[in-house]
Amino acid sequence: MTLGSNALTFGTAADTVFAGQFDGDGSIIKTGAGTTQLSRDSSAYTGNVEVAKGSLKITGKLGGYAGRIEGSGSDEAAVLVTGSGAQWAMDYNLTVGGTGMGSMRIDDGAVVSNIFGKVGSTSGQAATVTVSGRGSRWDNDFALLTGVDSGDGEVHVLNGAIMNSVDGHIGSAANGVGKGLVEVSGAGSIWTNDGELKVGNMNAEGVLRIADGAVVSNKVSYIGSMVGGVGTVSVEGAGSRWNNTGDLNIGFGVFASFGTGAVTIADSAVVTVGAAGTGTVYMARGGLFPVFGPTGTLSIGASSDDAADAVGAGTLRAGLIDFGKGTATLRFNHTDSAYLFDTRLKDDGSGAINHIAGTTVLTANNTGFKGKTTVSGGHLIVQSVLSGSAEVTGGELQFGSGMAGAISSLSGDLNVSGSRSTLTVTELAALSVANTVELKDFTRLNIGANADGPSLAANRLNIGSGVAFNLSGINDEGQLPKVLISTTNGIIGDFASVTIGGFNGPVDYLSVHTGKSTDGRSYQATYGLNWTGGNNLSHGTFTLANATDDFTLGVALRNQSPNHALGWNGRSLTKAGRGTLILTGDNLYTGGTTIQGGVLQIGNDGATGSVLGDIVNHGALAFQRSDDFAFDGIVSGSGVLIKNGAGTLTLAGANSFTGGVTLAKGALRVGADANLGDASGVLKFNGGVLETTDSFATVREIQLAQQGVFDTAAGTQLHLTGAVSGAGSLLKRGAGTLRLDQAAAVQRTLVETGTLIGHAGSLSSQIENAATVVFDQTTDGVFAGSLTGLNGVFGTMKKQGVGALSLSGASYLDWSVAEGELIAAIDRFSGDVDIASGAAFRFNDAGDKTYAGAVSGAGRFVLERDGATLLTGDSSAFGGLTTLNAGKLLVGDASGLGKLGGSLEVLNGATLGGSGVIGSGAGSHVSIAAGGVLSPGNSIGTLTINGDLTLAAGSMLNMELGAPGFSDRINVSGDLSLDGTLNLSQSLNAADGAVGLGYYRLMTYGGALGGAGLAVGQTPTLNDPAAFQIVTGNGNVDLFIAAVGDDTLQHCQGGDGVWSASSPQWRN
């Protein structure tokens, strides 16, 4: 459809969709109450579009010359451009509102473009434009005018939408009164002005809101300008930015034509002025006189003067704030704890800085600021220089910081009023006031003494009642006397209380030795002990308020006259506060000592420092002397006792303090548990030694932060019944005994001298023993740790108690088993063992292993191993019973090295062999039970039994044979009882020769022969048939192998004959 000179009117009240495509320059007029949707591509259209009623919805493309969205009378007109690809492109201007009600919405990726965009309505309701969503855009090729010519208009750019213009005017009404609002909100939302931005111009009111990560950019901006314009800009939220590539004017006017502007930067938002933040913020610029000038306010944080409204601070990036001739105010009302403000300030005298809440640090050199600074709350820190006049009605004004400071010169007065309002001058700063400094009632003055001169200088200083003075920066008497305050015309009044170095004068250990000079023009500081003050301020309390505070008192304190005004008896010392008081003098006051808090240290690594009498300790009592020192007073209270210093401290009193004992250095010597205070207190080792001189038990918990050394005197026992734990090791020293009952959760236990008694549940996993360690097992237990020597000295281990102790770790030490049973594995047990009568020692592991240690005593030695056990040590001193429950026992190697005394029983399934010596003579008995095996030698060898031997019925005697005369042999010194089966086999050693016809001596015995005799079992196979005959008698057990038949070998026992040396046989 082509529109000529006529108009296309949509007048229906119903919602319709116009699917036609049109062009031409005729008008499109929307008059019906319904919604008309244009869905086709009509971008070639060049006429005017007028919406007077209802809604026009553009989902396709629409061109045009100009657009007007203006309701008629009470009718509301609206345009919705929606959807990706939807557009409305005009060659001229777009008006929304006019004299009627109008609105436009651009969303879901739609685009609208025009030359001028004018949004404003005089109908009483604001005209509105909303651009919402990523991809949605409104392009104003020249200017955006919102709320102009008496109309009220609003523009909202939301949710990542974009708006472009050359200039922006929000509220501008040369011919009336208008109101304009632009809101740019949400991450990705952008308004870009290529030119200037005016907010609130010429009688109109303008508001710009930038929030929640949105960005607005322009060149020069004017906020509140000309003929009563009122402009307000708020930039709030992380990521929100306002970029001014030119200057920023807040409150602007020419001659008598002026405006009112306000800018607020809050909650981490950023405002940049000039290239890289080097531009100038002009506030209240223009006007002939201050009384007729504009008004400009810049707020960091909240835009009100109420501290309850404080919010997070934003950031201004600008090189200079220039306070003009009008009313210019820089306001700080935020919640930040260390806000740095580095923009330089310039003013001719009419500007104001108002600090309401938060902590603000002015880092720039503000010599050029001549206005007034008012602190009504929060903390304002002048890190460099500030001029003008100042007033503190609440909060704190501070000159200098811990990092920097300079000399600030105020050309006017400085008034501090309001309870607890504070003026502070730090050590690195100084303050000079040309007129009077007023410190009103109950205010505070903090001064850090300046090394180069007075910290505060003024024409006059007036001090009200109840004013507190806090002094720091004086560390020693070499800095005194020190002039702190100097005046030209005098100091009126005096301070009610003085705090020196962080300590409150009225209750401190230093007297308030600060005062005015004789001419009354300066204020000086000196130190003096309150203890020796001799006036109504004298007392015995030493208060060190902070944990980092400490004071060393080297003079000896003596009894003084009482001060009844403060209730001090003149004979007692009280330590208060969290800091440390160090007494290095040998004090003679007799009224006792009380520690209310912090640390009282006796001595300082020297041979002096002491107090008399009892101590009530509710903090920490530390002894730190380098020599041996005894304290026989009683220590009570809830505090901790700390042993420092290289010397030995002896405590003799029955102490009741509950905070425990910390051993940090040197030694603490006690003879009773009560010397260590109440048993509920922890004994903590942090590098020191506990020496005990008498026997006692303690249930207290032991903590080993570092190595814990227990030194027990000879003939005494220290019995620990509480838990022992920590990252440090436990070291036992001294000739006495240390006994552990509870679990010792430590990594290493070192026994240097004396005796350590414990059990598997109380001793640590690694024991290094150069003395004696006793496992007292009343029940069965397993010890998994290792047992070694210490510093090249190998101590002894002792097992006592009826329970069994199993060792699953390595043991390299000798043991004595007095009671119960000790169980070990051969490859992890290398020491000797002495087994008392009634006790037992058992090997119960598996595999072929060698034990080279020596077994002694009269108890039981039990082997129930799955594998062969070779004993090569000399255990001839053993007089008990060895029980072989399983596996194979070889007593002595092939060379005969190895002895085992006492008796031995071989039970069913077990085997006894070897080439050593078993038994201890008369009374020793070796028995082979049914199912047991006796197999002497290591290959062919001789086993000696120094005692009796019994082979029971069902037992087996296995012997290897070589050539006649070469065989295993058993030499029995006592009685021999033979039953069971004799099994014969060919020696596997070729050097022993082959089994053949002839004589073999298998056994000898020195006593009686008994039993039913041996039955021949397995025999080696010979080339010719042979008979195997056992012949006993005359102390021998022989084997004869003879041919069968006529070749039967003749033999005899006893009588005379000739023996062949070359072939061990009888020749006749």
What is the DSSP code string of 876-916? TTB-SEEEEEEEEEEES-TT---EE-SEEEE-TT-EEEESS
Distance CA 871, CA 914 (A): 9
The model carries a pTM of 0.55
Helix (H, G, I), strand (E, B) or coil at 946: coil
User: For residue 1005, is pLDDT > 90?
Assistant: yes
pLDDT of res. 512: 42
User: For residue 69, is pLDDT > 80?
Assistant: yes
pLDDT of res. 476: 66
pLDDT of res. 1025: 79
Distance CA 646, CA 644 (A): 7
Q: Cα angle vertex 996, ends 990, 1000, to 5°? A: 90
User: Bigger pLDDT: 13 or 667?
Assistant: 667
- The answer to whether 350 and 329 have CB atoms below 8 angstroms apart is no
Helix (H, G, I), strand (E, B) or coil at 379: strand
By mean pLDDT, which of 154-168, 543-557, 627-641, 710-724 is the weakest? Answer: 543-557
pLDDT of res. 156: 98
> What value does the mean pLDDT take over residues 927-947?
95
Q: Cα angle vertex 354, ends 352, 357, to 5°? A: 170
First to last CA, the chain: 153
> What value does the mean pLDDT take over residues 905-913?
97
pLDDT of res. 502: 45
Measured over the CA atoms of residue 1027, residue 1030, residue 1033 and residue 1036, the dihedral's sign is positive
Distance CA 337, CA 406 (A): 22
pLDDT digits (tens, 9 = 90+) for 512-521: 467 788 999 9
pLDDT of res. 1046: 45
pLDDT of res. 537: 60
Distance CA 841, CA 328 (A): 98
pLDDT digits (tens, 9 = 90+) for 764-783: 779 999 999 999 999 999 99
Residues of the chain with pLDDT > 90, as a percent, come to 80
pLDDT of res. 472: 83
pLDDT of res. 199: 96
- The answer to whether 208 and 198 have CB atoms below 8 angstroms apart is no
User: For residue 609, is pLDDT > 60?
Assistant: yes
Label residues 258-268 b or e (16+ Cβ within 10 Å = b): bbbbbbbbbbe
pLDDT band at 1067 (very low <50, low <70, confident <90, very high): very low
What does pLDDT average to over the chain? 92
DSSP per-residue codes, 346-370? EESS--EEEEEESEEEE-SEETT--
pLDDT band at 677 (very low <50, low <70, confident <90, very high): very high
User: Bigger pLDDT: 891 or 1050?
Assistant: 891
pLDDT digits (tens, 9 = 90+) for 327-367: 999 999 999 999 999 999 999 888 999 999 999 999 999 99
Residues 6+ apart with CB under 8 A from 512: 497, 498, 505, 506, 537
pLDDT band at 258 (very low <50, low <70, confident <90, very high): confident
H-helix or E-strand containing 595?
strand 593-595
Measured over the CA atoms of residue 626, residue 630, residue 632 and residue 638, the dihedral's sign is positive
Q: Cα angle vertex 204, ends 202, 206, to 5°? A: 115
Name beta bridge partners: 389: 372
Residue with tokens 């500007």: 351
- The answer to whether 977 and 1014 have CB atoms below 8 angstroms apart is no
pLDDT of res. 509: 58
pLDDT of res. 842: 98
By mean pLDDT, which of 398-402, 786-790, 833-837, 918-922 is the weakest? Answer: 398-402
Q: Phi/psi at 916 (nearest 5 deg)?
A: -100, -150
